[in-house]
Structure 1
Amino acid sequence: MIWLGIDPGLAIVGWAILEGDETIIPSIVDYGIIETDKKMPTGERLAELETDFVSIIKEFQPDAIAIEMPFFSRQIKAAGGVLQALGVINLVCYREAKLTPFFLHQASWKAHLGNGKATKKEVGEMLQQIFDLPSLPIDDSVDAIAIAYSACCGLRNYITN
């Protein structure tokens, strides 16, 4: 199976493609980030996300998609943009792949790796061990790899969307 993991955002979206199933450690096919310019209008940024996700889905043709469920404190200012980006991503997943993504809580996919409160650097170190890699970039793609890996291993939160 081809898994697409997504760490959503409006400014930066992490994505990762893994191939495998619950019986073996999957392989990392590709990963990266999509960045939008904070100076651009929101609509233009959302259009850029749409274009980039259409390309990713067409290139890799995922069988399943897992997205981190955003958590917002009352003080967060970015919630509106993240939720709009999430709507675009969800739409593209359905329109291009006929897939409804499932959502994973950050604490659950981090706990699946061994520490529910791990920093991004610690997540990267855990993934380096799991996949026997010399290094990984410490950016949002690391979280996307972890999200895809946890989903591939069978983690589900059964969040309705």
Structure 2
Amino acid sequence: MRVMGVDPGLTRCGVGVVEGAPGRRLHLVHVSVVRTDPDDDVALRLLGIETGIEALVDELRPDAVAVERVFSQHNVRTVMGTAQAAGVAMLVAARRGLPVALHTPSEAKAAVTGSGRADKAQVTRMVTRLLSLDEAPRPADAADALALAICHVWRGGARQRLAAAQRSRIEEAARVERARLAARSRGGTVK
């Protein structure tokens, strides 16, 4: 499975793509940061983020996109920009029919370090180790994006299987109900 992790931000939007499967070795496909000028209008900055993520999705062809779930912060302005950038990443994925998963920062930290309270340095060290990188991804936004992608590879696969099983059960229940209604309209009975 190839997963693109997105650590949303208006000034620096981390993007990391990994390939792997639960219980198997992970491989780095790509890591970068989409940057925008803080002096630009917010609409132009969001357009820049969209353009950057679109180009990476089109080039790298992920199977899924994992975006950091925005949580409440004391600085409302910061959380708004982060939420807007997250929305852009989700929109880009949705336009291409890619599944989108939201993971909290503590989920991503726990996935790569074993502790949801790990600091940025610990996350960066573990991402570097897990992907067998010669040097740590910089800035921290890039390492965080890779941590989100790793988290989704390891945890998201199970979520996707559960969601697929649930969709199957729903589709089967809908099929049975349609058959029951069709039989009823023809004057027959169905148990």
TM-score by length of 1: 0.89
| Structure 2 Cα separation of the partners of residues 26 and 80 of structure 1 | 33
Q: Deviations over 1:38-74 (max 9, x none)?
A: 0000000011111111101100111111111122223
Task: For residue 130 of structure 1, report the CA deviation from its aligned partner.
Answer: 1.9
Moved more, 79-88 or 63-72: 79-88
CA distance, structure 2, for counterparts of residue 127 and residue 54 of structure 1 = 24
Match of 1:151 in 2: 152
Give per-residue Cα distances to partners, 1:65-113, cap 9 Å, x unaligned. 1111122223442122122222221111111x21231100111111122
1:63 maps to 63
Distance in 1, matches of 2:75 and 2:30, equals 34
Q: Give the drift of 1:155.
A: 4.5
Residue type of the alignment partner of 2:39 = K
Match of 1:85 in 2: 85
Letter in 2 for 1:29: V
Please say if 1:29 is aligned against 2:68. Answer: no
Deviates more, 1:127-136 or 1:10-19: 127-136
Q: Moved runs in structure 1, 4+ residues, more than 3 A?
A: none
Asked if the contact 1:12/1:33 (under 8 Å) is kept, the reply is yes
- Give the number of the structure with larger relative contact order, counting CA–CA contacts within 8 Å between residues 6 or more apart: 1
Percent identity, please. Answer: 30
**SS of residue in 2 equivalent to 1:77:** helix
Task: Name the counterpart of 1:106.
Answer: 105
* Cα deviation, residue 131, structure 1: 2.4
**Structure 1 CA distance for aligned equivalents of residues 127 and 75 of structure 2:** 31
Shift of 1:22: 1.4
Q: How many residues align?
A: 157
Which is richer in helix? 2
**Equivalent in the alignment of 2:48:** 48
CA pair 137-20 structure 1, distance change in 2 beyond 3 A: closer
Counterpart CA distance in 2 for 1:126 and 1:110 is 9
Larger CA Rg, structure 1 vs 2:
2
Q: Report 1:117-136 matches (<5 A).
A: 117-136=117-136
Report the Cα offset of residue 10 of structure 1. 1.1
Residue of structure 2 in register with 1:39 after alignment:
39
SS in 1 for 2:77: coil
Shift in Å at residue 150 of structure 1?
1.1
**How far apart are residue 115 of structure 1 and its match?**
2.2
